[in-house]
Amino acid sequence: MVKHLAAAMLLLVACVRPLAALEFNQGFVRGLPPTQTTTAAFFTVRNSQQESWVLNRVISPAASRVEIHEHVNSGDTLQMRQRESLTIPAGEEVVFEPGGLHLMLMGLTAPLREGDSVRLEFHSETGAVAEAVFPVISVINEHHHHRHH
């Protein structure tokens, strides 16, 4: 009985305080010209839990679809590949950055401008949800992030 209660309380904590599970830093969404309907989000995410966090779905009111992408070298070209899931190991940090892992926001519901913010919901395979709000940073202010391959 006590065991069941403990499990129920854990579940409650997970539902009420999803932000405690994952910690997001340096997040931003790339602001592009209004003609663009696809953009990307970059951030670092830390899993401060004792268990790994398997991210398998991201949704946002700003886009009709959000995909987890990574860049892979195939021959001498750099290609984007979609990932079905991404494991954030216990106590570790995963970096989403230009040229590496990123979130692809597709079918933007409205143009994103500098000063806007984008809310993202991160769903784990166990049903946990973490939320993050990232500012939109226009490409004009972003030139120092660019990498050349």
Tell me which residues touch Cu ion (CB under 5 A). 69, 80, 104
Going from the C-alpha of 120 to that of each of 5, 9, 27, the distances in angstroms are: 31, 26, 11
Q: Which is nearer to Cu ion, 30 or 69 (CB)?
A: 69
* Cβ contact 138:31 at 8 Å: yes
Minimum distance from residue 38 beta carbon to Cu ion (Å): 8
Report the distance separating Cα 51 and Cα 125, nearest Å: 12
Nearest residue (beta carbon) to Cu ion:
69
Q: Which is nearer to Cu ion, 62 or 128 (CB)?
A: 62
Minimum distance from residue 67 beta carbon to Cu ion (Å): 7
Minimum distance from residue 126 beta carbon to Cu ion (Å): 26
* Cβ contact 101:94 at 8 Å: yes
Minimum distance from residue 83 beta carbon to Cu ion (Å): 10
Q: Which is nearer to Cu ion, 48 or 79 (CB)?
A: 79
- State the CB neighbour count (10 A cutoff) for residue 70: 15
Label residues 92-106 b or e (16+ Cβ within 10 Å = b).
Answer: eebebeeeebbbbbe
Q: Which is nearer to Cu ion, 23 or 71 (CB)?
A: 71
Helical residues (DSSP H) of 32-144, grouped into ranges: none
Q: Which is nearer to Cu ion, 22 or 105 (CB)?
A: 105
Minimum distance from residue 78 beta carbon to Cu ion (Å): 11
